[in-house]
Amino acid sequence: MADVYTVTFSLIGILLSVPALLVALSLLMPNVTQRVQTRLEQTPGRSFFLGVPVTAAFALFIAIASQVNIGPVQALAFIAAALLMGIGSIGGAGLARLLGERIRPLAHPNSELTNLVRGAVVYELAALVPIVGWFLFIPIAGMMAVGAAVFALVKWLPKPAGQPVSQSAAQSAS
């Protein structure tokens, strides 16, 4: 019976701590998570297509390095896994910001922190949906988050969508 309690309370702890982590990262690193949000909002496809090779490269390195029977190499595998999880967490915080921003028109009262927490909870609950959440939502959203976080960490923002209006078009409009 003690094993059941251990698993149950561990799951409850994880379910409470994930939104807290996303909110904390968003509050501690507002500029980075804002860049992630901008990237996910404007170029989700590019974020996904950058996240795929980055995640694959990390996963391949971790898989190979963890099988080598040399302590420092296995330590590098652990460090790479922690780095990938950190990058993914930053991306997840940006995704929670984006979801919170999109929840804003639907929710009352509208405080930024409340919407951020709501976005993090929606993100977490979507990942918990059996089959679709586990095997479709998590990989797609995770790779988009990793790609957007890499873009944000190197400070590479998308180009503005609006084209400058030519002077002759502005004069003919007035």
State pLDDT tens for residues 99-142.
999 999 888 778 889 999 999 999 999 999 999 999 999 999 99
Compute the distance between CA of residue 23 and CA of residue 26 in angstroms, rounded to an integer: 5
pLDDT band at 174 (very low <50, low <70, confident <90, very high): very low
Is 163 a domain residue?
A: no
Q: Look over the chain and give the mean of its residue pLDDT values, rounded to a whole number.
A: 90
Is 167 a domain residue?
A: no
pLDDT on residue 172: 45
Is 45 a domain residue?
A: yes
Is 60 a domain residue?
A: yes
Is 170 a domain residue?
A: no
Structural domains in the chain (count): 1
State pLDDT tens for residues 138-169.
999 999 999 999 999 999 888 876 655 445 44
* Among 98, 22, 87, 90, residue whose Cα is nearest residue 55: 87
Burial bucket for residue 122 (CB in 10 Å: 0-12, 13-18, 19+) = middle
Is 165 a domain residue?
A: no
Cα→Cα distances 75→6, 70, 98, Å: 29, 9, 35
Is 166 a domain residue?
A: no
Which residues span the domain enclosing 47?
A: 2-158
Is 172 a domain residue?
A: no
| Mean pLDDT confidence for 9-24 | 93
CB distance 97 to 34 below 8 Å: yes
State pLDDT tens for residues 26-63.
999 999 999 999 999 999 999 999 999 999 999 999 99
